[in-house]
Amino acid sequence: MSETVLQNVYLPKTVILDRVVDEIDEVKTFFWRFEDKQEQEAFRKFMPGQFAQVTIFGAGEFPASLPPSPTESEVFFTIRKVGSVTAAMHALKPGDRFAVRGPYGNGFPMEDFYGQNLIFVAGGIGLIPLRSCIVYALHNRERFQKVQVFYGARTPKDLMYVDLLKEWEKSAGFECHLTVDRKDSTWKGNVGVVGSLFQKSGVELPVENTTVFVCGPPVMFRFVLKDLKSMGFQDRQMVSTLERYMKCGVGKCGHCCIGVAYVCVDGPVFNLEQIKKLGEEI
Task: Name residues of the chain where pLDDT drops below 70.
Answer: 1-7, 244-246, 262, 264, 266-267, 280-282
Question: What is the reported pLDDT for 282?
Answer: 61
Q: In a 3-state reduction of DSSP, which class is residue 83?
A: coil
Of the candidates 120, 206, 199, 197, the one whose C-alpha atom is nearest the C-alpha of residue 165 is: 120
CA distance 177 to 214: 14
Hey, which residues does 19 pair with through a beta bridge?
Answer: 31
From first CA to last CA, the distance across the chain in angstroms is 48
CA distance 115 to 142: 9
Count of other CB atoms within 10 angstroms of residue 85: 18
Question: What is the reported pLDDT for 6?
Answer: 47
**DSSP per residue over 98-148, as a string?**
EEEEEEES----GGGGTTSEEEEEEEGGGHHHHHHHHHHHHHTGGG-S-EE
Question: What is the reported pLDDT for 58?
Answer: 95
Cis status, amide bond into 103, omega within 30 of 0: yes
Q: What is the pTM of this model?
A: 0.91
Structural domains of the chain, ranges and CATH numbers in brackets: 8-104 (2.40.30.10), 110-240 (3.40.50.80), 242-282 (2.10.240)
Question: What is the reported pLDDT for 64?
Answer: 94
CA distance 155 to 182: 5
Q: In a 3-state reduction of DSSP, which class is residue 157?
A: helix
